[in-house]
């Protein structure tokens, strides 16, 4: 069984105020070309379809074009989709039962019923895909009135344990959009949003038993605790911190039960790259490649002397400047000297200081946990 594993399309995303519609249309077009060529048994999209819970008309149109493009391929390729933390579960769910007839399976909300399961078949038998939309403990508390989940790990664990999954004989794939953590520190980047204090992390051991984990959420492609549990990452670079990454489309081959899945990275060519360049103004202005002229570019200037309208000069050569930074001995000294004052505290740290000042002691671990939850709630209501 071969399937595409993609996630975090973030349709409608802007990069430092640049509209990425053309870039996204271009890259989604490549996915459709690969689907026509390779004809996988399924296309799995592990959440964050849109960048915002209320996507723009332009974003909805692009998503529509992509789904239509995939669904027109014959023989039909099933498309399996879950919502991510950026999506509105209810909005994404729109027309889900109608789309099922087209073999487009949409799991927006984790409902009262069992997890949505899609069964596909190959020469080795059936493969069950379990679609677990992004969940927070508060979304599913009402499903377990006796013993509600207290954190993200318990929420996922409880949802999985109410399924009757044959882990021994069948091949099972989990499609999920959570922040899974193994023993290794995950690679994160600037285009992701996390909860403060790491409250949203899920211990990956609770999904042990699945033959493949098709995860979304982290934007850098990486394994999550085990060889067969993967974040495929975004199709495009969504922040300067991703400039050095190679984005790719993941093609997963699932063999016989008990064999490890193979993951192949198919090359993607973005319409425009995201890159960094540094040097003196005259160096940076000299001989830029065509790719750099067109790219979303972050420029660092290292000149010591005061420059005359550097941004205006750079704009003559580079069409899509994301930022211009100055890094010389003066700015360095400034930073060194100010280091003490530059410490930016989180709301929790500020509160912790205040509490210590007032009460003459530190918050206990339990009090700290309660405060973390309160700040988390406040942040959610703010969004």
Give the residues lining the site for Mn ion (CB under 5 A): 8, 48
What is the nearest approach in angstroms of Mn ion to the Cβ of residue 84?
A: 6
Nearer to Mn ion, 4 or 318 (CB): 4
| DSSP helix/strand/coil, 152 | helix
What is the nearest approach in angstroms of Mn ion to the Cβ of residue 192?
A: 6
Cα–Cα distance, 119 to 353 (Å, whole number) = 54
What is the nearest approach in angstroms of Mn ion to the Cβ of residue 187?
A: 14
**CB proximity list for 63: less than 8 A, separation 6 or greater:** 9, 11, 49, 50, 55
What is the nearest approach in angstroms of Mn ion to the Cβ of residue 222?
A: 14
Nearer to Mn ion, 48 or 154 (CB): 48
CA 192 to the chain's CA centroid: 6
Q: C-alpha distances in angstroms, 288 versus 61, 152, 165, 328?
A: 35, 48, 56, 22
What is the nearest approach in angstroms of Mn ion to the Cβ of residue 173?
A: 20
- Give the side-chain half-sphere CA count within 13 A for 191: 25
What is the nearest approach in angstroms of Mn ion to the Cβ of residue 242?
A: 12
Nearer to Mn ion, 11 or 284 (CB): 11
- The residue number whose beta carbon is nearest to Mn ion equals 48
Cα–Cα distance, 201 to 155 (Å, whole number) = 11
**CB proximity list for 317: less than 8 A, separation 6 or greater:** 285, 288, 293
Nearer to Mn ion, 179 or 296 (CB): 179
Cα–Cα distance, 79 to 105 (Å, whole number) = 6
Measured at the CA of 355, the angle between CA 354 and CA 356, to 5 degrees, comes to: 90
Nearer to Mn ion, 190 or 327 (CB): 190
Cα–Cα distance, 8 to 119 (Å, whole number) = 24
**CB proximity list for 90: less than 8 A, separation 6 or greater:** 108, 109
Nearer to Mn ion, 47 or 261 (CB): 47
């Amino acid at each position: 069984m071969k399937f595409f594993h993609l996630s975090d399309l973030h349709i409608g995303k802007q990069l430092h105020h640049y509209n990425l519609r053309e870039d996204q249309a271009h890259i989604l077009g490549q996915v459709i070309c690969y689907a026509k060529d390779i004809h996988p048994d399924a296309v799995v999209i592990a959440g964050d379809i849109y960048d915002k819970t209320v996507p723009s008309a332009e974003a909805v149109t692009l998503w529509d074009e992509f789904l239509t493009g995939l669904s027109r391929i014959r023989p039909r390729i099933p498309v399996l989709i879950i919502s991510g933390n950026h999506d509105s579960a209810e909005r994404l769910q729109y027309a889900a039962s109608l789309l099922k007839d087209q073999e487009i399976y949409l799991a927006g909300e984790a409902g009262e019923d069992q997890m949505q399961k899609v069964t596909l078949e190959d020469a080795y038998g059936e493969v069950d895909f379990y679609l677990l939309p992004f969940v927070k403990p508060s979304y599913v508390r009402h499903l377990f009135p006796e013993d509600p989940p207290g954190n993200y790990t318990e929420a996922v664990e409880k949802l999985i344990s109410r399924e009757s999954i044959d882990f021994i004989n069948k091949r099972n794939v989990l499609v999920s959009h959570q922040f899974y953590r193994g023993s290794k520190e995950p690679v994160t980047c600037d285009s992701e949003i996390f909860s403060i204090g790491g409250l949203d992390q899920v211990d990956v051991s609770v999904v042990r038993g699945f033959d493949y984990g098709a995860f979304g959420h982290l934007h850098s492609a990486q394994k999550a605790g085990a060889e067969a549990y993967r974040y495929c990452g975004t199709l495009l670079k969504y922040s300067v911190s991703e400039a050095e990454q190679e984005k790719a489309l993941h093609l997963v081959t699932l063999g016989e039960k008990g064999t490890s899945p193979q993951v192949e990275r198919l090359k993607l060519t973005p319409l425009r790259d995201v890159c960094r360049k540094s040097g003196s103004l005259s160096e940076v202005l000299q001989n830029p490649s065509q790719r750099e002229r067109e790219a979303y570019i972050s420029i660092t200037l290292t000149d010591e002397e005061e420059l005359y309208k550097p941004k205006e000069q750079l704009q003559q050569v580079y069409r899509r400047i994301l930022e211009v930074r100055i890094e010389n001995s003066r700015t360095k000294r400034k930073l060194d000297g100010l280091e003490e004052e530059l410490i930016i505290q989180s709301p929790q740290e500020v509160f912790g200081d205040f509490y210590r000042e007032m009460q003459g002691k530190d918050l206990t671990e339990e009090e700290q946990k309660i405060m973390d939850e309160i700040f988390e709630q406040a942040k959610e209501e703010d969004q």
